[in-house]
């Protein structure tokens, strides 16, 4: 049972967007998916509450008192949204469960600086486990100098850039209805689905 953790110690980088999209992708493949939300803001949990009854099912993984417990039997895929400032005991518990960690990162010097020590910690943890770590560039045009600088930074850590997601209202409009790119007609979100192809391949490996 793969456990995919979406993490970045900086707030406002798109963790809940990525977590809900991954859950929607797994559900679209027919998997029994659970989405957990360890963030006090509970954005992913709010999204679950908005999800239509006729959409592919994504179950709630109940997390109480900051305790991470194993999901119930019958679950085939787990996605976990995490809080900003993820450190200490909670960080260790989550990383012990994680098979893959997705780090959303915006290509600004401020975001890169704020995330550097976290990525170093992940790299050290990865050496001792089979956990895989990948970066997703958020709100970025891959043709820009900013994207090149982000790629150079991540390459220096030996981590792959899984893809770049553009700044679009599609994510906002879909989230307001409890939906993802993978819940609507592909023709409506064709460009965005193309940007997810590399991420999905990595998730499926």
Query: In this predicted model, what pLDDT tens digit does every residue of 145-191 receive, in sequence order?
Result: 877 888 788 778 778 889 889 989 999 999 999 999 999 999 999 99
| CA-closest candidate to residue 6, choices 76, 74, 105, 88 | 105
Average pLDDT value for residue range 41-65: 86
Structural domain count, the chain: 1
In whole angstroms, give the CA distance from residue 154 to residue 178: 32
What pTM value is reported for the model? 0.91
| CA-closest candidate to residue 140, choices 180, 95, 97, 108 | 108
Q: How sure is the predictor about 66, in pLDDT bands with cuts at 50, 70 and 90?
A: low
Structural domain span for residue 155? 3-204
Question: What are the tens digits of pLDDT across the range 68-103?
Answer: 556 667 789 999 999 888 778 888 888 888 999 999
Q: What is the CATH number of the domain that holds 132?
A: 3.40.50.300
């Amino acid at each position: 049972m793969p456990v995919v953790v979406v993490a970045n110690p900086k707030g406002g980088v798109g963790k809940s967007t990525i977590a809900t999209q991954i859950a929607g992708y797994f559900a679209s493949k027919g998997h029994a998916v659970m989405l957990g939300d360890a963030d006090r803001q509970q954005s992913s949990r709010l999204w679950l509450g908005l999800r239509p009854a006729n959409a592919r099912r994504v179950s709630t993984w109940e997390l109480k008192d900051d305790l991470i417990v194993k999901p119930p039997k019958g679950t085939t895929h787990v996605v976990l949204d995490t809080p900003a400032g993820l450190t200490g005991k909670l960080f260790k518990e989550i990383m012990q469960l994680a098979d893959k960690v997705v780090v959303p990162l915006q290509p600004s010097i401020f975001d890169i600086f704020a995330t550097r020590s976290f990525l170093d910690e992940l790299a050290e943890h990865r050496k001792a486990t089979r956990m895989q770590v990948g970066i997703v560039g958020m709100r970025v045009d891959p043709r820009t100098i900013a994207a090149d600088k982000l790629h150079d930074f991540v390459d220096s850590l030996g981590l792959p850039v899984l893809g770049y997601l553009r700044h679009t209202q599609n994510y906002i409009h879909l989230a307001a209805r409890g939906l993802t790119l993978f819940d609507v007609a592909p023709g409506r979100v064709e460009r965005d689905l193309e940007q997810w192809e590399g991420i999905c391949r990595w998730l499926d490996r």
